[in-house]
A and B are shown apart, each in its own frame.
Chain A
Amino acid sequence: MMQPVPLHQRGMATLIVALVLLGIVSVMTLFSLSYGMQQRRTAGDEMAARLVREAAQAALDQGLLFFRARSNEALSTWLSGPGRLWQRCAPQEQSVPCGAVDAAVRANYLHLATPLDMSEVFSNAAGAPTQQVIAKIGEFEVRYEVYALLCLVDTGQPQRQCLPENEVTADSGDRKPYAITLIARAQLPTDDGGGKSVIRQAVLKQTIAMTAGNQALAVVPGSWSDAGRIDAVGDYKVR
Chain B
Amino acid sequence: MSAAIFLDRIRGSSLLDELTAVVVLSVGLLGLAGLQGRVQNLASNAESTTLALTLAQNELERLRGVAADPGRAEEGYGHIAGNNRIIEAIDGQHLETAFTLHVDAVRFRLQGDAETPGAHYVAADDAAPVQAGVPEFKRVGVTVTWMRNGNAHSVAVPGIISPAAF
Q: Which residues of A contact B (CB under 8 A)?
A: 2, 5, 7-8, 10-12, 14-15, 17-19, 21-22, 25-26, 29, 32-33, 35-37, 39-40, 42-44, 46-47, 50-51, 54, 57-58, 61-62, 64-65, 68-73, 120-123, 125, 127, 129, 133-134, 136-138, 214, 216, 218
Contact = CB atoms under 8 A, between A and B. Distances in A.
Given A18-B25, A39-B43, A43-B50, A71 B115 contact: yes
Contact of A69 (B28, B120, B156): B120
Interface in B18-35: 18, 20-22, 24-25, 28-29, 32, 35
A216 B39 contact: no
Given A51-B157, A58-B159, A14 B18 contact: yes
A125 B123 contact: yes
A36 B162 contact: no
B103 to A, nearest CB: 15
A32 B36 contact: yes
A214 B17 contact: no
Interface residues of B, number: 60
The 5 A-B residue pairs with the shortest CB-CB distance in the complex, in nearest-first order: A11-B17, A43-B46, A36-B39, A18-B21, A61-B160
Contacts of B120: 69, 120-123, 129
Contacts of A11: 13-18, 20-21
A47 B43 contact: no
Contact of B121 (A8, A69, A71): A69
Interface of B: 2-3, 6-7, 10, 13-18, 20-22, 24-25, 28-29, 32, 35-36, 38-40, 42-43, 45-47, 49-50, 53, 57, 60, 106, 108, 110, 114-115, 117, 119-123, 132, 135, 137, 139, 155-162, 164-166
Given A47-B53, A68-B166, A73 B39 contact: no
Given A7-B10, A68-B114, A137-B157, A18 B53 contact: no
A22 B122 contact: no
A46 B156 CA distance: 14
A36 B25 CA distance: 24
25 contacts: A7-B10, A10-B10, A11-B14, A15-B21, A26-B32, A32-B39, A36-B42, A37-B39, A43-B47, A43-B49, A47-B155, A54-B60, A64-B162, A65-B137, A68-B114, A69-B119, A69-B120, A71-B114, A72-B114, A125-B106, A127-B123, A134-B159, A134-B160, A138-B155, A216-B166
